[in-house]
Structure 1
């Protein structure tokens, strides 16, 4: 790996770690406490599944950001980087709405604009760098499940 690429990998990782730390501070202990106490739909993942999804999300975000940082500079690249950072920040904001506020309603409503950001990012990546868009595709599909899941959580816990 080139020295410059290693710097971009470290930068990508550092950005995601900083956002994850901020998100963790916003969420507090509600993941272990509130989240385990609320009613879940029958198709909800077990707790370990949520940790795996979270870990895979950050790996995906690091990979996307890294690939964009090493790409040739231009307007499309800069736009994709901004959208990727918006996705990472939006994820932490959604965690705050859902876990920090302990609100299934805020989680459901907040997921809608977040999903739009991710879909716009996917479309921009598809036009700019299809290989990077493929990295994001499983998450786009996951968000379809997530919207149905949060809606059901809200209904079950009104």
Structure 2
């Protein structure tokens, strides 16, 4: 498989995870989410789709750049891509916990683990390809913001 094909494949996988995570989100956005008390810094719903699309594309490119080093750094690449797969799974799980189960507290606990896995993925990617690491920085920043938002929503709506 050539380098471009690897990158395209991983971008498609990341976007597919985002799409299927969004399926849980789409229904809750119209019925449950509007009933929640949100902090003043809560962005409008229209922001989330373009931001997540950009983040999934950058994640896929980053993973593809790392995968392209498989011939020269086999063990490091395998380790890095395992962390990548774990964080991608946790990313999808967060949507299910928050929007599917309507459980901001559980989602808040999970997002801490997600953040740690993203950070470890960043560390592993940076060792293999600096650009791949840099491509994850906006993702870390956004999930940091999302964690604060998640905690705030939980706090404002706890019964």
Q: Calculate the TM-score normalised by the size of structure 2.
A: 0.87
Output aligned runs, 1:8-157, within 5 Å. Answer: 8-27=6-25, 29-73=27-71, 74-157=74-157
1:144–1:25: structure 2 CA closer, same or farther, 3 Å change rule? closer
Cα deviation, residue 139, structure 1: 1.6
Q: CA RMSD in A?
A: 1.9
Find the counterpart in structure 2 of residue 5 from structure 1. 3
Q: Which sections of structure 2, spanning at least 5 residues, go unmatched?
A: none
Q: 1:117: Cα distance to partner?
A: 0.4
1:40 CA drift (Å)? 0.8
Q: Name the count of aligned residue pairs.
A: 156
Q: Which runs of 5+ in 1 are unaligned?
A: none
TM-score (norm 1): 0.88
Q: Is the 8 A contact 2:104 2:154 kept in 1?
A: yes
TM-aligned CA deviation for residue 130 of structure 1: 1.5
Superposition deviation, residue 26 in structure 1: 4.4
Question: Cα offset for 1:10?
Answer: 3.2
